[in-house]
Structure 1
Amino acid sequence: MSDETERVAATPRGRRARTPNARGRASHSLDAVLAEAVALLDESGPQGLTIRALATRLGGGAASVYWYISGREELLDLAADSVLAGVHTAVADVRTADPIADLRTIATAMFDAIVDRPWLGAYAMRNTGAQPNSLSLYERIGEETLRLDLTPRQRFHATSAVVGFVIGTAADMGQEPPAEVVSGEVSREEYLGRATEQWRALDPASYPFIHHIVDEFAGHDDRDQFLAGLDLLLDGLRLRARR
């Protein structure tokens, strides 16, 4: 039976009534489905997550997966949301006298969750209508801006800027390294050293900025770079709130 035939035969998350002769409910749970989906995504990326591969991993047929989800896109949304649920739980009680400091803590926790999972950036908060934990995390970030002297528009823009910076930077920094680094042909340090030397060899008249920052690039740490950028963003927000 094909995946599509099994999908039609199954009842996706109770959307259609079952007949008395329908197959019994799958023995695993939605949590188990999502846990294995996240594991597959961590191992193989989005291209490795198929309904059939997931069903095989769970020890059942595709229909047992379609009991819980309507298709692969919903599965990707829910898998991303299940990861962000952990972030939301971790920051739920973060509350100091300084909302900017709390925004930094929440943003950093979100960054750390995404940067080690390159697939996550594309699906985090992609569809908050289907991602309740993502919506709650967005609300949590926005609530910190309610403690600042801002207009509703400024709060909307501030929250969007923080979320966009975190997801975009984490997704960029979490990209798979070049093939020669992945294969072990060269180390990350060797690769960066080679890139640094290529930059140093550029014409200073044509690339004055590159020559100005090349020493910083040579020894930079990705996470430190993210935190520095986040601080610039939050410093600007603090200044705006004081006006």
Structure 2
Amino acid sequence: MEAVLDAAVAVLDEAGGSALTFRALAARLGTGVGTIYWYVQNKDELLDRATDHAIGGVLAAVEQQPDSDDPIADLRAMAVALFDAIVDRPWLSAYFMRNTDVQGNSLRLYERLGRQTLRLDLTPRQRFHAVSAITSVVVGTAADLGAELPQELLDGEVDRDEHLGRFAEAWRSLDADEFPFVRQIADEFATHDDRDQFLAALDLTLAGLRLQSEN
């Protein structure tokens, strides 16, 4: 099973979910398609098990981190670890926590996040909402970063700065009364760093959680 999942993750890393077929996996393993069915019943199960296999590395890293005296800081470290893993493997965003009956590692990682909220003065509903919000910020932002790039960027016709600069220039020329905000942030948009943007969103979420737990 380990070899099958290693191969499945390799296919997903190279070409995404659409490329992961039993035929492609069997060819990579040098075996017949029928052999794959000894381990998984269908493609959905294969995707869930491959996702859980990859998340196992994140879980191992998180479990090695000792708790500090600040659960919010510990939540942040876990969230960043998950974010970095999904940025490296964008396909994870589509399948993470999709089926926790199969994804035991994903459920354990979710539990590790949730345990930090047990150290805060929150109700069960607040804890559920907190972990849901953090997970949404992590997975949603990482998924956006992993989205397919415009063809002109893929072809090398323009670089990222030029691509963003075109939009920023158009925003600067908008009517000041109708689009005051967009005009004001045009320069920030043109030079923004995606990871910094994620960290800002995460920190805003965690700051709200800290205030909630203290009130």
* Same-fold call, TM cutoff 0.5: yes
Q: Which residue of 2 aligns with 1:112?
A: 84
Q: Which residue of 2 aligns with 1:40?
A: 11
Q: Per-residue deviation at 1:203?
A: 2.1
**Greater CA drift, 71-80 or 132-141:** 71-80
Q: Which residue of 2 aligns with 1:180?
A: 152
Q: Deviations over 1:35-57 (max 9, x none)?
A: 11111111111111111011101
User: Structure 2 counterpart of 1:216, which letter?
Assistant: E
* C-alpha separation in 2, matches of 1:67 and 1:183: 41
* Alignment RMSD: 1.0
User: Structure 1 counterpart of 2:164, which letter?
Assistant: L
Q: Which residue of 2 aligns with 1:132?
A: 104
Extract structure 1 runs of 4+ deviating beyond 6 A: none
Q: Per-residue deviation at 1:141?
A: 0.2
* C-alpha separation in 1, matches of 2:145 and 2:168: 18
Q: Per-residue deviation at 1:134?
A: 0.2
Gaps of 5+ in 1: 1-29
Q: Per-residue deviation at 1:204?
A: 2.2
User: Structure 1 counterpart of 2:53, which letter?
Assistant: S
Q: Per-residue deviation at 1:208?
A: 1.4
User: Structure 2 counterpart of 1:44, which letter?
Assistant: A
* C-alpha separation in 1, matches of 2:98 and 2:22: 20
Q: Which residue of 2 aligns with 1:12?
A: none
**1:79 to 2:50 alignment:** yes
The percent identity for this pair of structures is 61
Q: Per-residue deviation at 1:93?
A: 3.0
**1:53 to 2:58 alignment:** no
Question: 1:210 is matched with which residue: 177, 182, 185?
Answer: 182
Structure 1 length as normaliser, TM-score? 0.85
The structure having more radius of gyration, on CA atoms, is 1
Q: Per-residue deviation at 1:172?
A: 1.0
SS at match of 1:55: helix
* C-alpha separation in 2, matches of 1:168 and 1:213: 22
* C-alpha separation in 2, matches of 1:226 and 1:130: 29
User: Structure 2 counterpart of 1:168, which letter?
Assistant: G
Q: Which residue of 1 aligns with 2:62?
A: 91
* C-alpha separation in 2, matches of 1:165 and 1:135: 18
**1:154 to 2:126 alignment:** yes
Conserved? CA contact 2:169–2:186, under 8 Å: no
The structure where helix makes up a greater share of residues is 2
User: Structure 1 counterpart of 2:206, which letter?
Assistant: L
Q: Deviations over 1:196-242 (max 9, x none)?
A: 21222222222211112111111110000000010000000001001
Q: Deviations over 1:139-196 (max 9, x none)?
A: 0000000000111111111111111111111111211211111121211222112222
The number of residues matched between the two structures is: 214
Conserved? CA contact 1:118–1:176, under 8 Å: no
